[in-house]
Each structure stands twice: as C-alpha cells, then as structure tokens.
Chains A and B, each alone.
Chain A
Amino acid sequence: MSDQNSESENNHLSRRAVLAGGTALTASLFLPKNLRAADFPTAEVNTTGLAVTDDTVTIGILHSVTGTMAISETGSVQAEKLAIEQINAQGGILGRKIEYIQEDGASDWPTFAEKARKLLVNDKVASVMGCWTSASRKAVLPVFEQHNGFLYYPTFYEGLEESPNVIYTGQEATQQIIAGLDWVNQTKGAKSFYLLGSDYIWPRTSNKIARKHIENFMEGCEVVGEEYYPLGHTQFNSVINKIRLRKPDVIYAIVVGGSNVAFYKQLIAAGIDPAAEKPIVLTISVTEDEIRGIGGENIAGSYACMKYFQSLENENNLAFVKAFKEMWGDDIVIGDVTQAAYLGPWLWKAAVEKAGSFDVDKVREASPGIELTTAPEGYVKVHENHHLWSKTRVGRALADGQYEVVFETAELVEPDPFPEGYQ
C-alpha cells in the first residue's frame, strides 16, 4: 500500500467528519485510523442475518473464470481482489475483515443465475461484486431483487436500467458516447458518421443514442451508414468497401471481442490507416485489454472514448497501477472495466460506514451521494439513480498498446440511464 492511498483516506474521513458537525472537527483528530469492531456490535450492524461475524464480513465475487468471457472478466476479478486486500490492510470495514466467496459464472447465463442464488441464499453474502456482460446481469437481476442482494456491476453498458439492488460502477451509454461525439465534431470538424457494431443490445442501443445525438443535437451532421455483424464475425471487407464508397469523416465502431482483431487488421489491409485520420476511427469498445489481442500496431491512431485509461497521470492512478502490477505481475494491462471493478469494494465500504450497518436496505439508502476521492479515474460520486458521476475521456491508441489521453470533460458527466429525446 502506498502512502498516497492512506493519506487520501484520512482526508476522506475528516471531510465527512467536518460535515457531521462542529465538534466533529476536533474529534476527527483523535479518530482512530481503524474503526473498531467492538464499537459496532454484530447484532446492530447486521439485523437481517447476513454473513457478518464479530471480525469478518463475507462478500461474493461472481465472474466468469472459464469460457469465452474469462479473458475479459479476469481483470475485474483481479481488481476486486486487490481492493479487498487493500481494504483489509487498512483494517477492513467497521473493524471487520472482508472475506470473499468466489463463484464461476462460466460465461453461461443460467449458471450466473444459479450462482447468484447460491451466494445470496446459502452464503448470505453482504454484497456481490460481479457480472460483466449485459446478458449475465439480466439473468441475475431477478435473483438480486427477489432476495434483496446488492450487486456492484463494473461494465460500461447500454443503460435503460435502474435497479434498487445494483450499483453501476461503469458508465451508461450516454455518458460514454455524447462527450466523444461532441469532441470529434468540435476539434476535428467531423460531420459524417458511419456507425457499425456487433449485433446485440449494447452496440445497438449505443448507436441508437449516437444517431439521435448526431441528428438532433449536432448542427449539420449526419449518419451515412449503420451496420451490425454477429458476435464473432470476422469478415469486414464488404463494410469496409462501403465505407470507402461513402467517405465518412468518422467510423464509429462498437465491435466487441474477437471480431475486433479482424476488423482493425482488415481496415489497415484495405488502406484505411487509423493514424492517417481519413476517416477518423472512434470506438467505445476497445480498452487496453482488447488492444493486447488486436496488436498495438494495428490500431495505433484510433480514438477510444471511455472514462478510464491506464495512462492517466493522477496520483491515485499511479498508486493503483503500481499496486495492481505488484499483485498480478508486470506485464498486465488495466482497462476501463477493470478500474470500475476496483471501485466496487471501495464504494461499498464507504456506503456501509456511512450507514453504520451492513443491512442491504441501509446500505442502499446510504449509497447516493457517496464520493470516492481515491478512485484511480479521479473523483466519482454515486448518483440517486445508482450510476456514477464520472469524467469522460478520449484516448489516442499508441503502438505500445496504451492510450494517450487527448481530451477530458471539464466537469463530471451526469449519468442518465433513461435519456429523454434518445428513445
């Protein structure tokens, strides 16, 4: 653990103390660094029979560690374990060490539902860090709502959802999309857009929002094409030909998984080099994790729009990247979702401490307004609608597989899962 982290933790505590009232300021000077379990009797902080003892609290980790999604979800598991270890090193939550039970969703949606039920009903976990794809979240959602569990979901996703039992630590679609489109329009003068994506709910909804924004809110801009390809599709030659014919200013690509490798290689082979910016390639689906598969040289010069890049140079992030590499190895890369997964345990810790209880109802009530000054992405705050206020950034892909941040919104972007005018 680095000094920075504990320093900002102290800031965090005293800031709340100040808010609490006059005498609290002096009290905060004597506030023990670790809240002691004895001050929070188990009977009081756990009235609903969760897995909380006098010195431990159990949470669940529910991701795919086998199957096709394992390659994406491993980073999230690693980030969550790192956060848990760091929290425990600081004395845990309400004086209790976090223990976790890890279950494998096996890239299979019914398995996710089964394991979610197991974690909530059998293990009585106090919260769950988990899920990655929208399909897995949709599968576990009724389980969490029925058994009143509490899920921290890390992936940027399509929005159109606001469950009382989920905190969405990734960006919803409008947060991620609109800032990037405005940026490319204003700084690059782009007017025409060709939308393409993998064929499922996230790219379709995202492109729907992009299209509405381009047509209704961006003066003189137009969409010149919109196409979808099945998951795993590897033949993009026909769409590349169409792109060459229509000559858009921007290729807006929401291609996921293995298809990315084929798409970027075929772009270059067809003579469209992203680095030449004719047209500009803008994506919201390629994090540093995906570049490892695509190859930095194939995508260098493309732009990605999301809230976090590993190359962010604030102190929180430098400490985070260092700790992450110490725990999981030097050759690891950290993408947007991995960082969002790392926020989960921290946000939960802050909410539990604010509520003074592990009870799900109280944690839910305490969650809106929770802020995290120690987040690697900077500062985040939980909105009433259970999503996070966060900055959106545009990065330019480099040949070494990292992004160079070229733009950052001045303010935090408000999450808006049910955007009006975009339906």
Chain B
Amino acid sequence: MQSSAFMSRKEIIGFVILAALIFVIFPAVLDNFRLNLFGKYLTYAFVAVGLALCWGAGGILSLGQGVFFGLGGYCMAMFLKLEASTPENTAIQSTPGIPDFMDWNQLTELPWWWEPFYSLPIALIAVVAVPVMFAFIIGVAMFTRRVGGVYFAIITQAFAAIMTILIIGQQGYTGGVNGITDLRTLLGWDIRTDEAKTVLYFVNGVLLFAVLLVAQYVRKSKLGRLLIAMRDQEDRVRFSGYNVANFKIFIFCLGAAFAGIGGAMFTLQVGFMSPTLVGIVPSIEMVIFCAVGGRLSILGAVYGALLVNWAKTSLSESFPELWLLGLGGLFIAVVMVFPNGLAGVWSEKIEPRLLEIMGKKKSVAPAPDGAPAE
C-alpha cells in the first residue's frame, strides 16, 4: 500500500492539477485584485501544509501555528520597515530614521536587536530561523517530558496568547496593536504596484510547491512512516528503540519553518504585519483550513486554505452582517459529515465512483494513510 517511489502516479496527477490551478488557471481567470487575494490565501496554505504533517501525520495538534506565521512575518516586516524609514521619509519625526511607531513611543534610537534587520540575507534567514528556534525550545520543553495530545494543544494556545500580549505590550519595539504598517519597497522595488503583486504571487506559488515537495519527501521517507506509527501507537515505537521526542521536535520545527515562510510572504503581499495574525483566533483558523482540506493530505490542506478563505471573502462581501454564521455552519457541517475533510470526500466517495464510471474495476485502497489518530 505504501509505495516506495517518491510519488505514486495518483499523487503526481494531484500535484500537476494543483500546479495548473495556481500557475495557469487562477492567473488566467482572476483579475489583479482577486489574484492578489488568492496570493494571500496561499500564504495560509504554508501553515496548513505544516499542520498536515504535524497533526495529520504526526498526531501533534498545535493551536499556536499563528506564532510561527507571525514571527516569520515580523522578521520580514522589520526589514521592510527599516527600508521604508529612511531619514528623508521620516523627517517629520523627532528622531528621523527610526520606524514611525518607535518615535511615537518616545524611543530615540533603534533597539540593538533591530540592527541586523538592515540586511536582507539576515532577515531572510531569520524568517525561517526564528520560528524554528522558538519551535525547538517549545518542542524540547514539551516532547522530552512526554507532554502530548490535548495538553500540548492547550500549551501552544497559551504561547499564542502570550506572544500577542508581548507584541501589544512592547509597542515601542513592535508597533503594538497597529502592527508594522506602511511597508513600501523591497531593495528599492515597490511592492505595492499591481505588477509587483503578480510577481509576488508567482514567487509565492513556487515557494509553496517547494514546501509541498519537502512535505511529500518527508511523508514518503522512513521518518514519515515513523510519524504515522507514533501517531497510532507511540509506545510501540518507543519500545522499538526510537527516540520519539526527537522525531516530534523535528516535525514540529519543520511545520514552524513552513509557517514562517508563509508569514514572510503574507507581509510582502499584504503590506503589513499585525498581532491579529499571531493570536489564538488565527491559530485556530489555520487548524480549520487544514481540517476542512483534510488533515491527512498535504494537497488537501492547500485546497482547504484556499476554499475557506475564498468562502470567507465572498460570504462577507455578500452578507456583511450574517457571514460569520454561514461560515460557522460550514465548519460544523464539514466536521460532522466529512471528518477527513475534502481530501477524505475525494478519496472515499468521488474517486471510486470515477474509477467505476471509467470502467476500471481495480480494487481501490481505502484512505491512503489509514485511520486518523485519537
């Protein structure tokens, strides 16, 4: 059932269809504004793919992915903000040359830990490194003590809350509730124009595929099979001589790295970063993207992020006062009726039917990764 090849034929078809959607169909049928919106949705897909690995494969439910998304986004935003805060642009301030929110908060010089973010390479490394470091610390603290399941979920949620409070409280250094806003250029290239948004959309798409390929590689590797084994029977894996904690830490850090990249791309495309993307609510929303798409499938996670966000936008445009109820109803329906999300619906209902119609009477394997955990 588990093919040893990197990708089965079915999976290759899935990747090709998604690539066609992202690189050909969306740009062809959507206008600039909608394409930019889909670009924003795709940044959430990074987080959802990470969650499909951590939660779907590894059974580690993190309700704090917003923290990593936010850290990545803030690292990018700090670089862009410093570039936008030239002494000429900020001549009106009491201390020209520092970001505007620092000036409002009576800071008179740039804090030392902002200094490295003058350099793009360092900022890009930080986009991945900072979330990973943070995830590593949480991972070591939790997994080596065998904290798991619901307890882990609650603790990650607490981290999300702490991070928001920290960012809001230290507004002189972080921009507070407003976040870091009014980002303009990347190395002199104006990121606010329509052309820039289109370019960023494609960069985003390419990065997402890179992330998907890494995720696919991990799932097909020995590590991926161990993760599933851990999810279903953690003790047996431990008794077989594996250090369960290390695998968990690794996959958690990988999810954090994905989320960080997504956050950085979000900042570039939306033009600012704020604590509303770090807290508990966005973190849980990200889990919902993954759940709707199907947590067992990395491609499903991408579709989940796209579909839920698209529904959110279009419902809120048509029914500005009722849309939250509609969206809530949608989630309940998905969870009650399709516990494995869209991917589950596809592999259990639609695909067998399709094969039947096409006259291929092959026996179709059930859900590829077996039953979900818990």
Contact = CB atoms under 8 A, between A and B. Distances in A.
B93 to A, nearest CB: 8
Nearest to A134: B178
A104 B321 contact: yes
A129 B240 CA distance: 65
Contacts of A66: 321, 323-324
Contacts of A110: 40, 270, 272, 274, 276-277
Interface stretch (B164-172, B300-308, B349-357): B164-172
Contact of B92 (A106, A115, A134, A418): A418
Contacts of A364: none
Q: Which of A102, A111, A121, A139 is most buried by chain B, counting CB atoms within 10 A of its CB?
A: A139
B274 A109 contact: yes
Interface stretch (B99-107, B253-261, B287-295): B99-107
Contacts of B316: 103-104, 106, 111, 115
Interface in A107-137: 108-111, 113-115, 117-118, 121-122, 133-135
A-side interface mostly? helix
Interface in B105-149: 105-106
B106 A109 contact: no
B171 A199 contact: yes
B106 A201 contact: no
B106 A208 contact: yes
B182 A201 contact: no
A204 interface: yes
Contacts, number: 103
A199 B176 contact: yes
A227 B316 CA distance: 39
B323 A104 contact: yes
Given A109-B272, A138-B182, A146-B192, A201 B33 contact: no
Contact of A118 (B177, B184, B317): B317
A200 interface: yes
Nearest to B193: A146
A160 B102 CA distance: 13
A201 B40 contact: no
B31 to A, nearest CB: 8
A201 B176 contact: yes
Contacts of B324: 66, 106
Given A135-B178, A199-B169, A199-B176, A142 B320 contact: no
Contacts of B182: 138, 141-142
B169 A113 contact: no
B321 A65 contact: yes
Contacts of B86: none
A65 B320 contact: yes
Interface of B: 31-33, 36-37, 40, 92, 94, 100-101, 104-106, 165, 168-169, 171, 176-179, 181-184, 192-193, 270-272, 274, 276-277, 313, 316-317, 320-321, 323-324
**What 6 A-B pairs come out closest when comparing CB atoms?**
A104-B320, A138-B181, A135-B178, A200-B177, A121-B33, A423-B94
Given A109-B276, A200-B168, A208-B106, 7 more contacts: A104-B321, A110-B277, A135-B179, A138-B178, A142-B182, A142-B184, A204-B104
11 contacts: A66-B323, A110-B270, A111-B316, A121-B32, A138-B179, A142-B181, A142-B182, A142-B272, A199-B171, A205-B104, A231-B168
